[in-house]
Structure 1
């Protein structure tokens, strides 16, 4: 039995197309290399036309696809496997990704990009007319688009398919940490890593020992969140909220599915996580300032429903404690979700 594996071939950042002889030769060399490994390859177009034995092929201009025909052995015999094509509807596609506030809703609709995204597209990546990109709005929407106009300070892109909106797939963890006074880029680092780990929301926390945050920091952190979202292939941007005091946070502590409060000498976080429901979809993580929460603040948070948890025997910086907590709960939440799907 012969199985078929479909995948799109990319060369120097773009899908292979037949109009460039160098790309054509690259494709044939790719085919010959695979033949030496004992596998047979056929070149397919996007409309699924197959080239003949003379190595000719057809395409509709959207790039070539390669179908690998090979046999896979396993203890149960030979099985069929298929790898889905990379496309704009795949949250981990192979195209450069750019953020826009409002996506083109339907095929052919045009949007304009300016500012940082324009600079990144034209000056850093040096994309040209007709190059393909992915556009996302940070709310789950994503669409593939093509460059149709390049100006001095802006570009226009036309959607090549209808926009899709995908729901969040990770647990909804909210990190509230007293990181506003961190220096040396440590606060920026925290925003970036919370984004990469999949936190849904990040709140700079005002406490008695960290009562203020320098101006303009929140705007900077939101921009950094968008950049990190692009890098890690998320579709939903981490929400960086305005600073909030402990007293104002108490209602959120009370209504959260679970609230973990980092404090010295408490039950280890991993042990506390074993007691939460396996279907837990998120919660609230609280991290105090360098000098920790005051006794009064801890009492208020615990009375509102927070569960004190420990993070080991070493004294941790604010950003280290926040990332340690978030990584732990995200990984254990993923394990719980996997267990629930397979049960």
Structure 2
């Protein structure tokens, strides 16, 4: 059964415009074939195609599945894009499969990449969402500076991952508690955040955390944080 993004109502689902050609011309789907349609906000529509035209593919409902693959809590990762776009794309894909909720690409003083296509990033998120059958599509924000981001008034717990030699607690010990299941975590570029950036983040309420004894690549750190959060909140 093929998966698509689209619009869902009580009885029907309609494929998004950029999914129609793929369904008709590439996959050559026809009337009567079963498909799954994801709305990206919690619903998976299982249906049977009953209408095909150049501008529309519609399916009639068999069942609707809600919150499939949902990871409890809320994880917002603010991360410096990697110099290699392939490594950035790999992070987006794996974090989505594991269950991140929101991603903000950030620019800091040591950043090696200062432009990211939000459109391309969202396309990768959608593909990973369909592949892993996650009913929630992660939110991808515009590229922003670390300086501006840390001034935002977030209502959830705030952490900054750093290798700097300062007092910090293991991330695993912090987000295992249900009341800390909603959090934003800052992850820096290769070479870490600068000392002044870490200090500024702490002054704005971010708690310094360690991701372990070994240095991790930026994308690995993002995937590790996603997996740690998903594991620790699965029973909350």
Give TM-score scaled by structure 1 length.
Answer: 0.61
> Over aligned residues, Cα RMSD in angstroms?
2.6
1:146-295 paired onto structure 2 within 5 Å: 146-151=48-53, 153-160=54-61, 166=67, 169-179=71-81, 181-210=82-111, 213-214=114-115, 217-252=117-152, 255-264=154-163, 265=165, 266-273=168-175, 277-295=177-195
Over residues 3-61 of structure 1, what are the superposed CA-to-partner deviations in whole Å (9 max), with x where a residue is unaligned? xxxxxxxxxxxxxxxxxxxxxxxxxxxxxxxxxxxxxxxxxxxxxxxxxxxxxxxxxxx
- Is contact 1:106-1:159 (8 Å) kept? no
* Cα separation, partners in 2 of 1:304 and 1:134, compared to 1, 3 Å: same
What is the deviation of 1:332?
A: 1.3
Give TM-score scaled by structure 2 length.
Answer: 0.85
- Is contact 1:106-1:161 (8 Å) kept? no
What is the deviation of 1:161?
A: 5.3
- Is contact 2:83-2:113 (8 Å) kept? no
* Cα separation, partners in 2 of 1:317 and 1:220, compared to 1, 3 Å: same
CA distance in 2, matches of 1:197, 1:157: 30
Over residues 74-100 of structure 1, what are the superposed CA-to-partner deviations in whole Å (9 max), with x where a residue is unaligned? xxxxxxxxxxxxxxxxxxxxx422101
Where in structure 1 are there 5+ consecutive unaligned residues?
A: 1-94, 338-343
CA distance in 1, matches of 2:71, 2:183: 15
CA distance in 2, matches of 1:328, 1:163: 30
CA distance in 2, matches of 1:154, 1:255: 42
Which residue is equivalent to 1:97? 3
CA distance in 2, matches of 1:239, 1:157: 26
CA distance in 2, matches of 1:111, 1:320: 37
CA distance in 2, matches of 1:189, 1:256: 29
What is the deviation of 1:111?
A: 3.0
- Indicate which of 118, 143, 146 corresponds to 2:45: 143
